[in-house]
């Protein structure tokens, strides 16, 4: 069974989704791949969705949340590996797609990493907004470049 709730953020409405295992999705309304993989969700308060809202409240108040809600990453083995690496990018910092590719393998393509980053279903919590192009450009963000720019500036401003 899949469950959803909505969260009103400074960047617009966000859809939160979970199953019995954990958080499975955090999508900005109308973003690319919106609600990808959701099947007949029911709108219901669940502990993990409540924790996610509390995490987002803390985040958007300018603080770095220390504990993530329990997540259920649904994707390929490669995608999961990339998403785990995204979790290691510090608050207020960035890495390039190429940096992440090199962490996986010397011959890994930045484009393959970019595809996995783009299919991250748990926006903000798994900080795909912290990944930038090799020339420091704000390339690709399923939630929209304006939101990526806002999140990066917001984190930089609130960095401790």
Active centre residues (catalytic): 128
* Cα dihedral: 29, 30, 36, 39 (round 10): 70
Within 8 A by CB and 6+ apart from 62, the residues are: 154, 157, 158
Q: What backbone phi and psi angles, to 5 degrees, belong to 91?
A: -50, 130
Closest CA to 158 of 114, 92, 88, 108: 92
Distances (CA, A) of 17 to 8, 32, 47, 57, 147: 14, 16, 12, 17, 20
């Amino acid at each position: 069974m899949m469950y959803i709730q909505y969260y009103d953020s400074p960047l617009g409405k966000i859809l939160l989704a979970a199953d019995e295992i954990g958080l499975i999705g955090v999508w900005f309304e109308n973003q690319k791949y919106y609600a990808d993989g959701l099947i007949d969700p029911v709108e219901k308060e669940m502990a993990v969705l409540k924790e996610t809202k509390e995490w987002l409240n803390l985040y958007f108040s300018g603080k770095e949340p220390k504990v993530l809600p329990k997540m259920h990453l649904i994707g390929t083995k490669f995608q999961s590996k990339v998403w785990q690496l995204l979790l290691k990018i510090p608050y207020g910092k960035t890495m390039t797609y190429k940096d992440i590719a090199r962490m996986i393998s010397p011959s890994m393509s930045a484009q393959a990493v970019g595809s996995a980053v783009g299919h991250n279903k748990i926006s903000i919590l798994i900080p795909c907004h912290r990944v930038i192009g090799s020339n420091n450009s704000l390339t690709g963000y399923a939630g929209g470049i304006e939101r990526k720019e806002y999140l990066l500036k917001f984190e930089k401003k609130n960095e401790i």
